[in-house]
Amino acid sequence: MNHPGDDLRPATVADALSMAVVMERASTHRKSRLVPNRSIDSDIDYLVERLGRPGAWCRVAIMNGEIVGFVAGNPLMRDGQHDSDTQDLGLIMVAPDWQGYGIGRKLLEWAAGYHGARKVKFLELWTQEDNTRARRLYESLGSTLTGETKMRQDESMVRYRLSL
């Protein structure tokens, strides 16, 4: 068996089903319940749309031949314009059975390295205020709260920024 997170590769549209399964399992696990109004088909559609966005990027983590996590994003838009200094890290998901093995860290480190080498200055992301596990990970890598908050699907969200 390889080490968790050692196999990262670019995602393709053909990966959308496996990514949607990870997304559903991770979301259900975090909330300890099924997420209402969520379906694999709608998640697949969302992921295909997201992968097709201009400037989109995504890496999947492979363990034992299956996708166990992924990170995805695109250039950040501010006032309808691309912010060339900042990338929006829109999704980071790890299957519950693989959480705690460093896969999320590897995915975030890949995103930071990839964009830092391209002279991007910041990665920004939103996360649930009560998602303490994810918040600890972001903070351990140097991410700081921006002070921005919002509500999304009845959840309080906070915004993080990572300087590259």
- pLDDT grade for 34, boundaries at 50, 70 and 90: low
- Which range (33-37, 62-66, 70-74, 83-87) has the least confidence? 33-37
C-beta separation of 11 from 58 below 8 A? yes
Give residue-wise pLDDT tens across range 39-75: 899 999 999 999 999 999 999 999 999 999 999 999 9
Looking at the chain, the whole-number percentage of residues with pLDDT higher than 90 is 82
* Predicted local distance difference test score (pLDDT) of residue 36: 59
Q: Which CATH class is domain 7-163?
A: alpha beta
Q: Are strands 122-128 and 81-94 parallel, antiparallel or unpaired?
A: parallel
Please report, for the chain, the start and end positions of each structural domain, with discontinuous segments joined by +.
Answer: 7-163
| Whole-structure pTM value | 0.92
- pLDDT grade for 1, boundaries at 50, 70 and 90: very low
